[in-house]
Amino acid sequence: MRHPVMIALCLSGTALLTACNKPMSDAQVQRAVKDVNVIDESNLNDIMLTVGDPNEAVRYFQGALQKDPGRIDLKRGLAKSLVRANKPTEAAAIWQEIVASPEGTNDDKVMLAEAQIRANLWDKAKATLNTVPPTHETYDRYRLEAMVADADRNWKKADSFYEIAAGLTTKPANVLNNWGYSKLTRKDYAGAEKLFTEALTYEASMFTAKNNLVLARAAQRKYDLPVVQMTQTERAELLYTMALAAIKNGDISVGKGLLQQAIDTHPQYFEAASRSLAALDANVTN
Per-residue pLDDT band for 41 (boundaries 50, 70, 90) equals low
147 close to 127: Cβ distance less than 8 angstroms: no
Q: What is the C-alpha to C-alpha distance for residues 51 and 34, in angstroms, rounded to an integer?
A: 26
Look at 9 and 38; give whichever has higher pLDDT. Answer: 38
Maximum Cα interatomic distance, the chain, rounded to a whole number of Å: 99
> pLDDT value at position 21?
46
pLDDT at 4 over 70: no
> pLDDT value at position 32?
41
Q: What is the pLDDT of residues 121-155, one digit of tens each?
A: 999 999 999 999 999 999 999 999 999 999 999 99
In this prediction the pTM is 0.79
> What mean pLDDT do residues 240-259 have?
96
pLDDT at 5 over 60: no
| Residue 221 per-residue DSSP state | T
Q: What is the C-alpha to C-alpha distance for residues 26 and 48, in angstroms, rounded to an integer?
A: 33
pLDDT at 1 over 70: no
Share of the chain above pLDDT 90, in %: 76
> pLDDT value at position 285?
56
121 close to 92: Cβ distance less than 8 angstroms: yes
> pLDDT value at position 158?
97
Domain ranges of the chain: 231-286
Per-residue pLDDT band for 16 (boundaries 50, 70, 90) equals very low
The three-state secondary structure class of 242 is: helix
> pLDDT value at position 212?
97
119 close to 88: Cβ distance less than 8 angstroms: yes
For 98, half-sphere exposure in the C-beta direction (CA atoms, 13 angstrom radius) is: 26
> pLDDT value at position 194?
98
> What mean pLDDT do residues 243-249 have?
96
> pLDDT value at position 51?
64
Per-residue pLDDT band for 282 (boundaries 50, 70, 90) equals confident
